[in-house]
Amino acid sequence: MSLNKDSILYATNKGLEVFRHFMGSRFTKVGKSFKSPFYQDSKASCYVYLDKKSNLYKFKDFGDAEYSGDCFFFVGKIFGYICDDRTDFIKILEIIDGELGLGLEDHTQKVDRVIRDNNGLVTTASKIVSIHDGFETAHTKLPIQYKEFSVAELAFWNKYGISIETLKRYNVCSIDTYHGVSKQNKEFFLKSTNEQPIFGYQGRRYTKLYRPNSSLRFLYTGEITENYIFGLEQLPVRGDILFITGGEKDVLSLSSQGLNAICLNSETAHIPKNLLRGLSYRFKHITLLYDADETGKASMEKLCKEYKSYQIKRLILPLAGTKTEKDISDFFKLGHTADNLMMLFLEMLDHLYEDTLSVMKSCEIDFENPPKAPEPIITINDVTIGTPGNILCIAGAEGSGKTNYLGGLLSGAMKPDDSVVDTLGTYVKTNDTKKAILLYDTEQSEYQLYKNLSYIIKRATLEKPPYWFKAFGLVGISRNERMNLILESMDRLYYEHGGIHMVVIDGIADLLNGVNDEESSVKLIEELFRMAAIYNTCIICVVHMAPSGMKLRGHLGSEVQRKAAGILLIEKDNNANCSVVKALKVRDGSPLDVPLIQFGWSKEEGRHVFLGEKSKEESETRKLNELTEIAKDIFANKSVQTYAELTQAVMEALDIKDRMARNYIKFMKDHDIVEKSDGINGDYSLPTLPF
């Protein structure tokens, strides 16, 4: 048997055993929900199920559809490989075969793998150069003898800010004795002392000995893989900065400061491209932080040029470059903190974003020097609202009240702690931590934007905007430049203010050449979603409704509908002379169960105010009408469906979970929207019309 997709599926029960192996105790049985292994999941929203169409077991994440797929996709996500890439897919097959011990790889495939791993060169075993050239390696004569960390050893690590908890997390141990045999077949014996302690960086099948006070500082024993990466297993799924450092002690120092870091064998080691591809998706900034000596600087410059497509950055520490003052652990030992390091990082961003910051400065609204009032210009005002880590959307026709609703949301976010602000029936978390609140407007004139912001500030009971609120009018910037300006300014302000509380992009259609450009629409929404996750903020976007008023406009609207965690529609109720907020999509529960909120103009208050919720009868009527339309769409292509098929269709139509879908099927049955046959199977269909 040879190693291929079909042989893997045959040997793993259609991929089920692959999920069991890589998820361990997290996954207990098929169909039972569990928390995502890829990110910090607050609810159990993931399942492994048998897909009847493909007859394969698949992984489904209702919290984030990006992580859904078969066993090959799942393993690729873990190791940073892409199934659509042939070379990557072969590596995925090899990982599954090796990890599960399937033994499917035939002789020819083994030869191909050896040739590939040796850059296409075939040579005899006696001529193969050790991957550890430049380092001492040894075979273990007797088992390594471990011991508890002594007070002196802990004091050594504490100099660099490294705690015992960090040492344990990274599998660092204290070694008492080591008895080994060198490459020259000579036996030797090492004994730990207070003057010459011995530490071990433990991997799965190897230990790297570290003797900080000895001439022979590093010693490898066991089986070390070609791509040695220390700290990879401890990285979070997503983050903003990842430092690639020169050594393990540097990784431990950074981790103790709450920063993400990994290291390779040495500063001159090659960085695997497949590793960079996976890490560049997970982290916004991959930054080299090597020694401040000539070797470290030269290596960083070389790697930045070699991997330019991955936008690798380099940060040079302000150290002397001497033996005792050259790396990041020395930086912390000298009394510097993580805040000092972030100031250096911020200076690096200032240099990288120099042109962008100059352009954005000219776009920033200056409240001290307001622009002169131009001739009245009609503008379209769009607004959206959401939660941290997600994209949320507000849609509506012109004149529906979107601008007034957005004003209530921004006022609620900016208000002082002791003030009471009418946020038009919506709860808004106050920006207690003084993070950045950013508004980017692509449609209003400079004067109109200033005028509307003045109303918002007044509603928030403020005399002037807080320093952490930034508003930019981009109407005079070309469409091709706007998105890059937004991304880079967001990144800079994120570090300046210690985070981003909320981002409003008023008019995302104006970031594209057209709303029906599918490729650009997908790219735009994916990038915004990635930024929301990295910065842990709410990115509020705006899209237009289609002329029919039933769906969001164009391919852009379709992508927003698929990716957004929530969508609110603002409609004008001419009979009641007010605006109504209707939920089209929510992440938890169903939009049909969210009450209809009303707001309108108050002469007494001189502004728009919350008018309460629509009556229960009106909400029930909406629920009845919309479920009727959904049922018609579901049965349009197939007039009779099983309960399982109907449940799945309702889940997809409303983007809800199975329990909520079953409740709606009962509601539809009780209100004669659908009917159940009297047969054994009990299939469902639309009610038969009387003649």
Which domain CATH number covers 604? Answer: 3.40.50.300
Domain end residue (candidates: 111, 126, 141): 126
Domain match, 484 and 574 both: yes
Domain match, 428 and 568 both: yes
Q: How far is CA 203 from CA 171, 181, 562, 639, in A?
A: 8, 20, 41, 59
DSSP string of 456-524, one letter each residue: HHHHTT-SS--TTEEEEE-TTS-HHHHHHHHHHHHHHHHHHTTSEEEEEEE-GGGGSS-TT-HHHHHHH
CB atoms within 10 A of CB 673: 20
Domain match, 196 and 113 both: no
Domain match, 449 and 553 both: yes
The two beta strands, 206-210 and 199-202, are antiparallel
Q: Which distant-in-sequence residues (6+ apart) come within 8 Å of 532 by Cβ?
A: 388, 389, 390, 391, 538, 539
Instruction: Give the torsion through C-alpha atoms of 679, 681, 685, 690, to 10 deg.
Output: 0
Amino acid of residue 365: I
Domain match, 500 and 402 both: yes
Helix (H) or strand (E) holding 424: none
| CA–CA distance, 543 with 293 (Å, rounded to integer) | 52
SS3 623: helix
Domain match, 449 and 559 both: yes
DSSP string of 292-315, one letter each residue: SSHHHHHHHHHHHHHTGGGT-EE-
| CA–CA distance, 556 with 527 (Å, rounded to integer) | 13
pLDDT number for residue 218: 84
Q: Which distant-in-sequence residues (6+ apart) come within 8 Å of 226 by Cβ?
A: 117, 131
| CA–CA distance, 619 with 613 (Å, rounded to integer) | 9
Which domain CATH number covers 85? Answer: 3.90.580
Domain match, 653 and 588 both: no
| CA–CA distance, 119 with 342 (Å, rounded to integer) | 39
Residue 306 domain flag: yes
Closest to 287 measured CA to CA, from 275, 267, 304: 304
pLDDT number for residue 170: 94
Domain end residue (candidates: 222, 249, 265): 222
| CA–CA distance, 184 with 160 (Å, rounded to integer) | 36
pLDDT number for residue 116: 64
Domain end residue (candidates: 222, 249, 278): 222
**Judging by beta carbons within 10 Å of its beta carbon (0-12, 13-18, 19+), is residue 540 exposed, middle or buried?**
buried
Domain match, 541 and 445 both: yes
Q: Which distant-in-sequence residues (6+ apart) come within 8 Å of 644 by Cβ?
A: none
Do residues 114 and 125 lie in contact, with contact meaning Cβ atoms separated by under 8 Å? no
223: which DSSP letter?
-
Residue 361 domain flag: no
Range of the domain at 672: 621-685
Domain match, 386 and 446 both: yes
Residues 294, 296, 299, 304: is their CA dihedral positive or negative? negative
Domain match, 443 and 549 both: yes
Residue 524 domain flag: yes
Residue 286 domain flag: yes
Domain match, 50 and 144 both: no
Which domain CATH number covers 261? Answer: 3.40.1360.10
Closest to 338 measured CA to CA, from 417, 269, 431, 258: 258
| CA–CA distance, 218 with 201 (Å, rounded to integer) | 10
SS3 525: helix
| CA–CA distance, 227 with 73 (Å, rounded to integer) | 22
Of the CA atoms within 13 Å of residue 554, those in its CB half-sphere come to 17
Encode burial over 411-444: b for 16+ CB neighbours within 10 A, e otherwise: bbbbbeeeeebbbbbeebeebeeebbbbbbbbbb
Tally of structural domains, the chain: 5
Residue 440 domain flag: yes
DSSP string of 460-471, one letter each residue: TT-SS--TTEEE
Residue 370 domain flag: no
Residue 367 domain flag: no
pLDDT number for residue 277: 86
| Average pLDDT per consecutive 10 residues, the chain (691 residues; last block may be shorter) | 85 89 81 81 83 90 82 88 87 86 74 60 35 48 85 93 94 91 78 91 85 85 74 90 94 95 81 85 92 90 88 92 90 93 92 80 78 38 58 80 82 84 81 91 88 89 92 89 92 93 87 83 88 86 66 78 81 80 72 78 84 76 80 82 84 73 83 77 73 42
Of the CA atoms within 13 Å of residue 6, those in its CB half-sphere come to 2
pLDDT number for residue 164: 94
Residue 365 domain flag: no
The three-point CA angle 424-568-420 to 5° equals 20
Which domain CATH number covers 635? Answer: 1.10.10
Domain match, 108 and 146 both: no
CB atoms within 10 A of CB 17: 17
**Judging by beta carbons within 10 Å of its beta carbon (0-12, 13-18, 19+), is residue 344 exposed, middle or buried?**
middle
